[in-house]
Copies of this chain bind each other. A is one copy, B any other.
């Protein structure tokens, strides 16, 4: 049995995870990210202990703990080299955690953990598996031969910061034209607002007014109700996603590409045009094609993946 912890900017989520990747029990507490980091770490350990107690598990039954954390992680040492959302700079996360719960600990980037979770859940043991998450940003992780591919420095997998429009929109990373600046939910909201302003009579304006805000759903909802401007926003947004997916495919040809994040809940309304674009525009015309699927675990992916990365390191 393993413990998987997903340290997010809003909540700490954790679970006991069986050797096969099944969540046995899970729970969460608020991160309150402005407080001293060690208090957050202590709460992570307390949450883990609470779950063990609730499930009637002794510490001797837990083989290791995996922690998914945003930012740049030194996977070997368990140090958070840099994180922005929860302020950490060369912070010894693994070491600090063990002060409160003394078990073998592995820390990895949160997107890597989510990728591993989805791989365990939907990857069926394929040799190559790419997970892409479309949320506030665009993140991802690549699983080769059952292991996260980290590059030579541990920093690989930042698919959201591949250039999609050279010289285009400024990205939060400081570069221009990143995929994230076009295919994230943040980007979709920006695109929706621009279209609403240019077309005040679009149904999107009415929907946003009813709900009280513009969200990642506004354009999709209007499009589904037949609004032409909404349709064109969705069409262009889906094209941005598909163009980046095909970039990944042409470079790496993973057997499965799984798309997750909030937007993936749009299901086949989103996925079918992506699959169609990849089928027509992918460079490879003569060999089998990457299978493009919807991710399944949503918020549980980080818990499962962190636990399974710990398993891979200590088993």
A-to-B contact residues, CB < 8 Å: 72, 74, 81-82, 126-128, 142, 144, 149-159, 161-167, 173-175, 177, 182, 239-240, 243-244, 246-248, 250-255, 280-281, 283-290
Residue of B150, B174, B248, B288 touching A253 (CB-CB under 8 A)? B150
B residues near A150, Cβ cutoff 8 Å: 253
Of all A-B residue pairs in the complex, the 9 with the closest CB atoms, nearest first, are A151-B253, A152-B255, A162-B247, A153-B287, A155-B284, A156-B253, A161-B283, A175-B281, A161-B250
* Interchain CB contact (< 8 A) of A284 among B153, B163, B182, B280: B153
B156 contacts A252, CB within 8 Å?
Answer: yes
Instruction: Please indicate the chain B residues that have their CB under 8 angstroms from the CB of A247 in the complex.
Output: 161-163, 247
Find chain B residues with CB under 8 A from A289 CB: 153
Which B residues lie within 8 Å of A156 (CB)? 251-253
Give Cα A283–Cα B86 distance, bound, in whole angstroms.
18
Flag if B81 contacts A286 (CB, 8 Å): yes
Task: Provide the residues of chain B in CB contact with A288, threshold 8 Å.
Answer: 152-153
**Once bound together, how far apart are the Cα atoms of A67 and B285, in whole Å?**
22
Q: Which residues of B contact A173 (CB under 8 A)?
A: 283
Are A243 and B161 interface neighbours, CB within 8 A? no
A287 touches B155 (CB 8 A): yes
Contact A243 B166 (CB under 8 A): yes
Complex partner residue of A155 from B151, B157, B165, B283, CB under 8 angstroms: B283
For the complex, what is the distance from the CA of A240 to the CA of B164, rounded to whole Å?
Answer: 11
Query: Given contacts A81-B286, A283-B155, is CB(A164)–CB(B163) below 8 Å?
Result: yes
- Interface pairs (13), CB distance under 8 Å: A72-B284, A128-B151, A128-B152, A144-B144, A149-B252, A151-B253, A151-B254, A151-B255, A152-B290, A153-B289, A155-B253, A157-B251, A247-B247
Given contacts A152-B255, A162-B250, A162-B251, 4 further A-B contacts (CB under 8 A): A149-B252, A156-B251, A164-B164, A177-B243
Residue of A74, A82, A174, A287 with most chain B CB atoms under a 10 A cut-off: A287
Q: Are A153 and B250 in contact (CB under 8 A)?
A: no
A127 to chain B minimum Cβ distance, whole angstroms, is: 6
Residues on the B chain within 8 Å of A175, using CB? 246, 281, 283
Closest approach, in angstroms, between the C-beta of A314 and any C-beta of chain B? 22
Q: Which residues of B contact A280 (CB under 8 A)?
A: 174
| Selected contact of A165 from candidates B165, B239, B284, CB within 8 Å | B165
Q: Is the CB of B283 within 8 A of A158?
A: yes
| Cβ–Cβ < 8 Å partners of A244 in chain B | 163
Please state if A253 and B152 are interface contacts (CB–CB under 8 Å): yes
Contact residue among B153, B252, B281, B286 (Cβ-Cβ distance under 8 Å from A151)? B252
Q: Which residues of B sit under 8 angstroms from A239, Cβ to Cβ?
A: 166-167
Closest to A167 in B: B239
Q: How far is the CA of A247 from the CA of B180 in the complex (A)?
A: 12
Complex CA–CA separation, A153 to B253 (angstroms): 7
